[in-house]
Amino acid sequence: MFICLISCTYISFAQITTDPISVPPLPVTRANVNSSLTTGKVFPNKVDDVKAGKSGTKPITDNIADNKSLSKFYKAVQVAGLSETFKSKGPVTLFAPDDNAFAKISAGRLDTLLRPDHKPQLLAILTYHAIAGKFNSRQLVRKCLNKKTAVFTTLGGGKLTGEIDADHNIIFTDETGGKSMITKMDMEQSNGMLFVINTVLIPKDKILL
């Protein structure tokens, strides 16, 4: 069981214990989804993104630092004091909003969020983008399809609801009703798995003011 104390600026994933992932039989009725699962290509049209993003020899923090499209997320991680957290053993699965996702937030609101007096709010938002354990896209899809939706508990203690849309994309709905889509997937990390999403997820009671 993982307990996240949002007032702390360092969270050790070495303290996380995760149960083995149990994948139930898939009640899949859509032939193309079933076919993609059996071939190991959940989103065949995004295979190039997957190949380009793999860097399994380095931890999450190092890889997001090297990714120009995640510069705003990396800056937020630094301000929140989570750099060492995302370097620790894990494993952890991170859904990182790209710079275009942060561009949906007004500059004033983002600047406010990055101020020292808003650090607890920033910590709550960033840890809402990660879950304990290492999950690839196939496992996420299976969990979502098993009961049409899947609820994931984040490192911050919040809940994310996952589902598969008509175009077979993985969509997350946050606690405020906002939706975000995975745009790049299965980026192997030495301490987990990295996905890129197109909207910043917001936990309950942490709406950007």
Which pLDDT score is estimated for 29? 34
Q: Indicate the SS3 state at residue 172.
A: strand
Which pLDDT score is estimated for 55? 55
Which pLDDT score is estimated for 208? 56
| Residue 131, burial from CB neighbour count under 10 angstroms (0-12, 13-18, 19+) | buried
Whether the CB-CB separation of 179 and 193 falls below 8 Å is answered with no
Neighbours of 96 (CB within 10 A): 27
Which pLDDT score is estimated for 93? 97
Which pLDDT score is estimated for 21? 32
Q: Indicate the SS3 state at residue 75.
A: helix
pLDDT tens digits for the chain (209 residues)? 443 434 444 444 444 333 333 333 333 333 334 334 433 334 433 433 434 444 578 999 999 999 999 999 999 999 999 999 999 988 999 999 999 999 999 888 889 999 999 999 999 999 999 999 999 999 999 999 988 999 999 999 999 999 999 999 999 999 999 999 999 999 999 999 999 999 999 999 765 54
Distance in angstroms (rounded) separating the CA atoms of residues 174 and 197: 13
Domain spanning 43-135+182-197 has what CATH number?
2.30.180.10
CA distances from residue 5 to 124, 190, 191 in whole angstroms, order as listed: 9, 25, 21
Distance in angstroms (rounded) separating the CA atoms of residues 103 and 72: 9
Give the residues across from 194 on adjacent strands. Answer: 94, 187
On whether the pTM is more than 0.85, the answer is no
Report the interhelical angle of 71-80 vs 119-127 (nearest 10°): 120
Longest dimension (CA), the chain: 51
Which pLDDT score is estimated for 141? 95
